[in-house]
Structure 1
Amino acid sequence: MNALFANTTGSFNTANGRTALFNNTTGNNNTASGVDALRSNTSGVNNTANGLSALRSNTTGVNNTAAGLEALFSNTTGNYNTANGLDALFSNVSGSNNTANGWNALYFNTTGFQNTSNGASALYSNTTGFINTATGLQALYSNTTGSNNTANGANTLYSNTSGTYNTASGRDALFANTTGDNNSAYGASALVSNTTGFSNTAAGVDALHSNISGNSNTAIGLDAMYSNSSGFGNTASGETALYSNTFGLWNTANGLQALYSNTSGQGNAAMGVDALYFNTTGSSNTADGVGALYSNTTGSYCTAVGRHTLYTNIIGNFNTTIGDSSMFFATGNTNTAIGFASGKGITSGSNNVTVGYRAQVPTSTADNQVRIGNTNITYAGIQVAWTITSDRRWKSDIQESNLGLDFISKLKPVSYVRKNDESQKREYGFIAQDLEDALNTSGAADNGMISKDDKDMYGVRYNDLMAPMVKAIQEQQTQIETLKNEIASLQNTIQELVIPKK
Structure 2
Amino acid sequence: MIPAGYGNIAIGGGSLYYNNNRDGNTAVGLSSLALNCFTSGGASILPSQGLHNTALGSETLFNNRRGSGAVAIGYKAAYSDTAADGVVAIGRAALFNNNGKIRNLAIGDSALYNNSTGANESEGIDNLAVGTKALFSNTKGINNIAIGAGTLKLNTTGSFNTAIGVANLFNNNGNSNTAIGSSSLFTNSTGSDNTAIGVQSLVNSFSGNSNTALGFRTLSNNISGNSNVAIGTNALAKNTAKSNLVAVGDSALYNNGIGAGVLQAVGNTAVGSKSLFSNTTGSYNTSLGLGTLNNHAFGDDNTAVGASALAIGSTGTSTTAVGKSALQYDNGTNNVALGAYTMFYHQTGNDNVAIGSSALFNNINGNGNIAIGGSAALNESGSNKLYIENSNADKNNALIYGDFAADSLNLNARVNIRDYTRLGTQASGAPAIKMKELTIQSSSSSTGQVSINHGLTSSKIISVTVLLEWTTGYLVPPEYSPDPLLNYNYFVSPTQITIQNNAASCAYICSKPVKILVTYKE
Fold match, TM over 0.5?
A: yes
Q: Distance in 2 between matches of 1:156 and 1:98?
A: 20
2:413 aligned with 1:380, yes or no? yes
2:177 aligned with 1:166, yes or no? yes
TM-score normalised to structure 2 length: 0.70
Residue 406 of structure 1 corresponds to none
Deviation at 1:392, TM superposition (A): 9.8
- The answer to which structure, 1 or 2, has the higher relative contact order (CA under 8 A, 6+ apart) is 2
Q: How does 1:20-169 map to 2 (within 5 A)?
A: 20-42=15-37, 43-110=49-116, 111-160=123-172, 162-169=173-180
Structure with the higher fraction of residues in strand conformation: 2
Residue 287 of structure 1 corresponds to 304
Q: 1:193 is aligned with what amino acid?
A: N
Q: Which consecutive unaligned segments of at least 5 residues does structure 1 have?
A: 394-502
- Contact 1:361 1:371 (C-alpha < 8 Å) held by counterparts: no
Structure 1 pair 22/351, CA: closer, same or farther in 2 (3 Å)?
same
Residue 371 of structure 1 corresponds to 387
Q: 1:70 is aligned with what amino acid?
A: K
Residue 498 of structure 2 corresponds to none
Q: Distance in 1 between matches of 2:414 and 2:239?
A: 54
Structure 1 pair 24/210, CA: closer, same or farther in 2 (3 Å)?
same
Residue 457 of structure 2 corresponds to none
- Contact 1:361 1:369 (C-alpha < 8 Å) held by counterparts: no
Residue 337 of structure 2 corresponds to 321
Equivalenced residue count is 385
Q: Distance in 2 between matches of 1:321 and 1:386?
A: 33
Q: Distance in 2 between matches of 1:290 and 1:339?
A: 16
Deviation at 1:345, TM superposition (A): 2.3
Structure 1 pair 387/282, CA: closer, same or farther in 2 (3 Å)?
farther
Question: What are the superposed Cα offsets for residues 269-327 of structure 1, whole Å, 9 maximum, x if unpaired?
Answer: 1111110011223222111111101123232221100011011112x121111011111
1:358 to 375, 378, 382: 375
Deviation at 1:255, TM superposition (A): 1.1
Residue 267 of structure 2 corresponds to 250
Q: 1:218 is aligned with what amino acid?
A: V
Q: How does 1:356-435 map to 2 (within 5 A)?
A: 356-360=373-377, 364=381, 366-373=382-389, 374-375=392-393, 377=398, 380=413, 382-384=415-417
2:245 aligned with 1:234, yes or no? yes
Q: Distance in 2 between matches of 1:362 and 1:244?
A: 36
Residue 402 of structure 1 corresponds to none
Q: 1:140 is aligned with what amino acid?
A: L
Q: Distance in 2 between matches of 1:266 and 1:304?
A: 17
- Contact 2:246 2:268 (C-alpha < 8 Å) held by counterparts: yes
Q: Distance in 1 between matches of 2:71 and 2:27?
A: 10
Residue 459 of structure 1 corresponds to none
TM-score normalised to structure 1 length: 0.73
2:219 to 208, 211, 218: 208
Q: Distance in 1 between matches of 2:71 and 2:133?
A: 18
- Contact 1:204 1:220 (C-alpha < 8 Å) held by counterparts: yes
RMSD value, Cα: 2.1
- Contact 1:57 1:74 (C-alpha < 8 Å) held by counterparts: yes
Structure 1 pair 381/118, CA: closer, same or farther in 2 (3 Å)?
farther
Structure 1 pair 386/179, CA: closer, same or farther in 2 (3 Å)?
farther
2:290 aligned with 1:273, yes or no? yes
Q: 1:353 is aligned with what amino acid?
A: I
Q: Distance in 2 between matches of 1:171 and 1:41?
A: 40
- Contact 2:361 2:378 (C-alpha < 8 Å) held by counterparts: no
- Contact 1:282 1:296 (C-alpha < 8 Å) held by counterparts: no
Q: Distance in 2 between matches of 1:386 and 1:107?
A: 90
Deviation at 1:387, TM superposition (A): 6.9
Q: Distance in 2 between matches of 1:256 and 1:383?
A: 49
Deviation at 1:35, TM superposition (A): 1.3
Q: Distance in 2 between matches of 1:220 and 1:75?
A: 44
Deviation at 1:26, TM superposition (A): 3.9
1:12 to 7, 15, 33: 7
Q: Distance in 2 between matches of 1:118 and 1:382?
A: 81
Residue 489 of structure 2 corresponds to none
Question: What are the superposed Cα offsets for residues 442-461 of structure 1, whole Å, 9 maximum, x if unpaired?
Answer: xxxxxxxxxxxxxxxxxxxx
SS across alignment from 1:151: strand
Q: Distance in 2 between matches of 1:6 and 1:108?
A: 31
- Contact 2:358 2:378 (C-alpha < 8 Å) held by counterparts: no
Deviation at 1:367, TM superposition (A): 3.1
Q: Which consecutive unaligned segments of at least 5 residues does structure 2 have?
A: 38-48, 117-122, 400-411, 429-522
Deviation at 1:62, TM superposition (A): 1.6
Q: Distance in 2 between matches of 1:388 and 1:87?
A: 98
SS across alignment from 2:213: strand
Deviation at 1:205, TM superposition (A): 0.9
Q: Distance in 1 between matches of 2:209 and 2:254?
A: 19
Structure with the higher fraction of residues in helix conformation: 1
- Contact 1:271 1:287 (C-alpha < 8 Å) held by counterparts: yes
Q: Distance in 2 between matches of 1:193 and 1:220?
A: 17
Deviation at 1:362, TM superposition (A): 7.5
Deviation at 1:57, TM superposition (A): 1.3
Q: 2:20 is aligned with what amino acid?
A: T
- Contact 2:388 2:398 (C-alpha < 8 Å) held by counterparts: no
2:314 to 297, 304, 310: 297
Q: 1:343 is aligned with what amino acid?
A: L
2:186 aligned with 1:189, yes or no? no
Question: What are the superposed Cα offsets for residues 102-128 of structure 1, whole Å, 9 maximum, x if unpaired?
Answer: 101111112511111111111111111
Q: Distance in 2 between matches of 1:91 and 1:123?
A: 12
Q: 2:299 is aligned with what amino acid?
A: G
- Contact 1:361 1:370 (C-alpha < 8 Å) held by counterparts: no
